[in-house]
Amino acid sequence: MSTGKFIVIEGMEGAGKSSAIAVIERILKQHDIEYINTREPGGTPLAESLRTIVKSVDHQEILTVETELFLMYASRSQLLANKILPALAAGKWVIGDRHDLSSRAYQGGGRGFDETIMNTISDITLKGFRPDITLYLDIDPHIGLSRAKARGDLDRIELEQMDFFIRVHNKYQEIASQDSTIVTVDAAQSMADVHLDIEKSVLEFIAKTALD
C-alpha cells in the first residue's frame, strides 16, 4: 500500500480555512482518495484537552508564552503519533487545519521566540516530519480579524493586539517566500477565486504525486 500525503491549510484568523478545506475534500472525493481531517491544536482526545487550555479566556492565572509554546508542541506530538502517522502509513491522505507553520508564525513571529528555540522544539517533537504541501491563505490581519470578530466570540489568542497579528503575518509571509512546498493563495480575492486557486494547486499536486 502506498504512503498517504499530508496537505495542510494555513492562515490567520478570517482567512477562510474552513471553506478551503471543503474544497480539498471535494477534490479528493472526486479522485477516490481516502482521507481524514485533523486540526491543531487538537485532533485527539488528549490534544483537544490541550487546545482548550490554549484557547480558553477563563484561566485564573496568566498563561505564560512559554507554556503556550510547549502546549502547542505537546498537542502536535500527540496528533502526529496517534493520528497523522498511522493514517499516512495506511495509505490515507490527511488534511490538516494548521501544523508547525502556525507555531513558527504565532509563537515564533507573534511571541518572539527565536528560530533556534523553534527548531529545537520542532526537531524533538516532529523529528523532521513535514507536510507534503501547505496552502497558505494570505490575508491582511486587519481584514482577517474583522471577519473573525463578525463570527462571534474570540478566543484567548484572537484577543491579542493588532501588532501581534502583524508580526504573525510578517513571519508567515517570510517563511512562505522561502519554502517551495508552501503555496501562497491570496485570500483577499473573492471566495470563488480563492477556491479556484486552491483547486488548481491541489489538482497539480495530485497529478505530480501520480508521477512520483
Find the CATH number of the domain harbouring 186: 3.40.50.300
In a domain, 132, yes or no: yes
**Domain extent at residue 106:** 6-211
Q: How many domains does the chain have?
A: 1
- Give CA 42 to chain center in angstroms: 11
Q: Per DSSP, what are the bridge partners of residue 134? A: 8, 182
pTM: 0.95
pLDDT digits over 144-176, tens only? 999 988 888 889 999 999 999 999 999 999 999
In a domain, 107, yes or no: yes
pLDDT of residue 83: 98
pLDDT digits over 22-40, tens only? 999 999 999 999 999 999 9
Nearest-angstrom CA–CA distance, 56 and 203:
37
CA distance readout (Å), 114 to 109, 124, 200: 8, 16, 35
pLDDT of residue 60: 87
In a domain, 120, yes or no: yes
In a domain, 168, yes or no: yes
Q: For residue 210, what pLDDT band results from cuts at 50, 70 and 90?
A: confident
